[in-house]
Structure 1
Amino acid sequence: MKTRRRPYSDQRPTGHGGGVWSVPVPIPGNPLGYTLVYAVESPGGIVLIDAGWNHEDAWTALRDGLSAVGVRVSDLRGVVVTHYHPDHAGLAGRVREECGGWIAMHEADAALVRLYRELAGDSGRTLQVEMMRRAGAGADADAMVNAERPIPPAQPDIELRDGELIDLPGRALRTVWTPGHTPGHLCLHLEDADRLFTGDHVLPGITPHVGIYPYDRADTDPLTDFLGSLDRLATFTTTEALPAHEWTFKGVAARAADIRAHHEEKLDSLAALLTDLAPDAYSIWQIAEKMTWNRPWADLYPIQRGMAAGEAAAHLRTLETRGQALRHPGEPVRFSAP
C-alpha cells in the first residue's frame, strides 16, 4: 500500500462532495510530504480540520488551495485541530488572525500546548536533552543540544471533550476521542454524511507514531490507550475515512484492526527480545537499537532515533503493565524480562 503514496508535487485541492474539500499543505523537510487540511461547509460557514505546518510555503499552499475551491481564509468560521503536532496545529493561529474565528482542540492536548509555550526556547531544549540522557542516549543527546525546535502552536479558544458537537450549524460533526498518538487526539465524525476525519489515528498505508515523552515516565501508557482507541472504531464498518496523510479510504474498522495486530506483533517481538537478553537489563536506547525499524539504526538521524526510542519506551511500558517487562529505576532507567 505504501507505493500508492504520491509526492506533494502531485497533490491538488480536491472536492469530495457533500461540502467537503481537501487541500494538501507541505511539511518542509519531512518524508510525509504534506498534511491534508479539510474544509467542511455548513449553512453557518466553513470550518477547517487541521491547518498545516507554520511555514510561509505552507501558508501560501493553504491560502491558494482554499481559494482554488472557492474558499477565502478570511471567511472561515474556525479551525478544529485533531492534535497539537506542528504539521496539524502550526498554522491555526495565523488562520485565526485572518478570519477572527476560533481554534478548538481536545483539552488534553490544549494542556500540552500551554506547557510547550511555557518551555519555548532554551529551557525546552535543555529538558529534551536531559530526557534523552536519562534514557541512555549518550552522543545522540549531545547532538540535540543545538537542534531546531518547532514553534509552539497557538493556544486554542475552545477545549473539547469526547462526544461533543463542533460549532458547525446545520451539520453534525462530533468528536471521537482517540488518545495514543497524542493524549488528546481527536477523530471527527461527520454524522450527516457518515465520514470520519481520522487525523493521524488511522492512516491507510502507515502506522502513526506512539511514544512516551519523557521516555522514563511510569504514570502513563499511551500504547494501551492507542489500542483501546482503535477498538472504539470497530463500529465504523462502512464509514469513509479522510485521514490527514496519504489518501481517503473505506473500511476504517478493518484498517484499525490491522494496526492493532501490527502493534501486538511488535509487542511479542519485543518480549522475545527481552527474553533473549535475560538476565541482563538494558537502557531504552540500547533496546531501541536492537529493535527492527524501517531503516538500520546507524542510518537514522538523532531526531529519528529519538522517535524510535519513544516508540520503544511506549512498547516497553505496555509490556510492563502486562507483566512481561521489569523496570529497573536509575539513570538511565533499564528494562529486562521479568
Structure 2
Amino acid sequence: MWSVPVPIPGNPLGYTLVYAIESPRGPVLVDAGWNHPDAWAALSGGLAALGLDVSTVSGVVVTHFHPDHAGLAGQVRQASGAWIAMHENDAALVRLMNEFAAREHAAFQTDMLRRAGAGPDEAAEAMGERPPPPALPDRELRDGDLVDLPGRKLRAVHTPGHTPGHICLHLEDADRLFTGDHVLPDITPHVGIYPYDREDVDPLGEFLDSLDRVRDLGPLDALPAHEWIFPDVAARAAEIRHHHEEKLERLRALLAQRPQPLTIWEVAAMMTWNRPWDELAPALRGMAAGEAAAHLRALEARGQVRRVAGVDAVRFHALDS
C-alpha cells in the first residue's frame, strides 16, 4: 500500500493523497486527483516511481465526487480499462451534473445567492466557475459493500455530510481507515447545503452522526485525502464533533441576541471563519454561506431556530431555549 501526493493547482490544500493498494489484478486506487496535466504527471509518475504502471490499475474507488478526488478517474479508466466505483448517492449527483448545462448552473447559482440574501453585486462576484463533471462510475456502492480487491477486505462506510455519498473505506485486515475528507488531522471539511434554503436535508446532522459512526470503529490509523496520515481516528472524530457542537451553540446564542430574523448571508457574515468576512474572496463567501446554511438547518432540525419565508430571502430567528 502506497500514497502518491497529486497536486491541486492553485488550491491552498496543495495536494490530494491518492492511495494505491496492491492486488493480483493490478493496483486499486483510493481517489484519483484533480483533472489537470500536472496532476496526471504526478499520479502516473508517482506510480511509476513505485514500480507500478498506470495502465495496470484495475479499479478506482472514489471517496466522493469532488474534482480533487474524482477528476482523474476517467483518465485512469481510459489508460487501463479500470472500473470506477463510488457511493450511489454521489453517482446520482454525477449523472445530474452531466445533464446540467452551464447556463442552467449559472441561473441556479444566481437564484440561490439571491434567496440567501446576497445583493446583486455580491451574487455576481460569488458565482464560481463550474469544473467539468467527473466521469460516470461503472459501479455503485452502498454502506457495508466490499470493494473488488482480491485478497483484502476493503469495506465502504457511508459517511454523508461533506457530500451525500461520501464514503470512508475500512481496510479491515489491516485496521486502517481511508477517511477521504470526512476526518482530517488538522482542518475540518466543508459541510454545506445547496441550494442554501433547502428544508428536506440536514447535512451537518448527518455529518455529526457519521463522526459518531467512525468513532465507534475504534482507534484505527487514519489515511486521509489531505494533510497527513495520523493515528486514532476515533479521537479525532470526537474532537471534530465537539468543535461543531460549540459552533452550533455560538450561532444559537448569536441569533438569540438579535431582535429581527437574519438572512443566511447576514448570518454567514457574522460567523467566525479563518479570516474576517471582508477579507474572504467572493467564492469563499459563497462557500461560507453554504456552511452557515447547514448550521442553521441543523439548529432548525433540533427545534432551536425557525425560518421565516420572505419575499426577497429566507430568514432565521432563535426560539426560546
- The separation in 2 between residues aligned to 1:298 and 1:61, in whole angstroms, is 36
Query: 2:216 — aligned with what?
Result: 235
1:319 aligns with 2:299: yes
Q: Secondary structure at the match of 1:238?
A: coil
1:301 to 281, 305, 314: 281
Q: Secondary structure at the match of 2:257?
A: helix
- The separation in 2 between residues aligned to 1:187 and 1:244, in whole angstroms, is 10
Q: Secondary structure at the match of 1:189?
A: strand
- The separation in 2 between residues aligned to 1:140 and 1:159, in whole angstroms, is 38
Give 1:319 deviation, angstroms.
0.4
1:174 aligns with 2:159: no
CA contact (8 A) 2:157 2:168 kept: yes
Could you list the per-position Cα deviations for residues 148-174 of structure 1 after superposition, in whole angstroms to 9, with x for gaps in the alignment? 221110110101000000011111110
- The separation in 1 between residues aligned to 2:234 and 2:219, in whole angstroms, is 8
Query: 2:122 — aligned with what?
Result: 140
Could you list the per-position Cα deviations for residues 13-59 of structure 1 after superposition, in whole angstroms to 9, with x for gaps in the alignment? xxxxxxx1000011111111110000011223210000001111111
2:253 to 265, 272, 285: 272
One-letter code of the match for 1:217? R
Could you list the per-position Cα deviations for residues 96-130 of structure 1 after superposition, in whole angstroms to 9, with x for gaps in the alignment? 11111110000000011111111142211221121
Give 1:230 deviation, angstroms.
0.3
- The separation in 2 between residues aligned to 1:156 and 1:326, in whole angstroms, is 39
1:105-184 equivalences under 5 Å are 105-138=86-119, 139-144=121-126, 147-184=128-165
CA contact (8 A) 2:219 2:235 kept: no
Q: TM-score, normalised by structure 2?
A: 0.97
Query: 2:225 — aligned with what?
Result: 244
Give 1:204 deviation, angstroms.
0.4
Q: Secondary structure at the match of 2:28?
A: strand
1:289 aligns with 2:269: yes
- The separation in 2 between residues aligned to 1:119 and 1:44, in whole angstroms, is 36
Give 1:64 deviation, angstroms.
0.5
Query: 1:10 — aligned with what?
Result: none
One-letter code of the match for 1:287? V
* 5+ residue gaps, structure 2: none
- The separation in 2 between residues aligned to 1:154 and 1:98, in whole angstroms, is 14
Query: 1:4 — aligned with what?
Result: none
- The separation in 2 between residues aligned to 1:242 and 1:173, in whole angstroms, is 13
- The separation in 2 between residues aligned to 1:332 and 1:302, in whole angstroms, is 19
Q: Secondary structure at the match of 1:24?
A: strand
CA contact (8 A) 1:161 1:177 kept: yes
1:34 aligns with 2:20: no
CA contact (8 A) 2:126 2:285 kept: no
1:205 to 172, 186, 208: 186
Q: Secondary structure at the match of 1:42?
A: coil
Query: 2:204 — aligned with what?
Result: 223
CA contact (8 A) 1:202 1:243 kept: yes
Query: 2:54 — aligned with what?
Result: 73
- The separation in 2 between residues aligned to 1:328 and 1:209, in whole angstroms, is 25
CA contact (8 A) 1:203 1:246 kept: yes
Identity of aligned residues (%): 68
Q: Secondary structure at the match of 1:37?
A: strand
- Give the total of aligned pairs: 317
One-letter code of the match for 1:290? M
- The separation in 2 between residues aligned to 1:188 and 1:73, in whole angstroms, is 22
- The separation in 1 between residues aligned to 2:54 and 2:175, in whole angstroms, is 26
- The separation in 2 between residues aligned to 1:113 and 1:183, in whole angstroms, is 12
Could you list the per-position Cα deviations for residues 124-150 of structure 1 after superposition, in whole angstroms to 9, with x for gaps in the alignment? 1221121111111112211245x4221
- The separation in 1 between residues aligned to 2:196 and 2:22, in whole angstroms, is 41
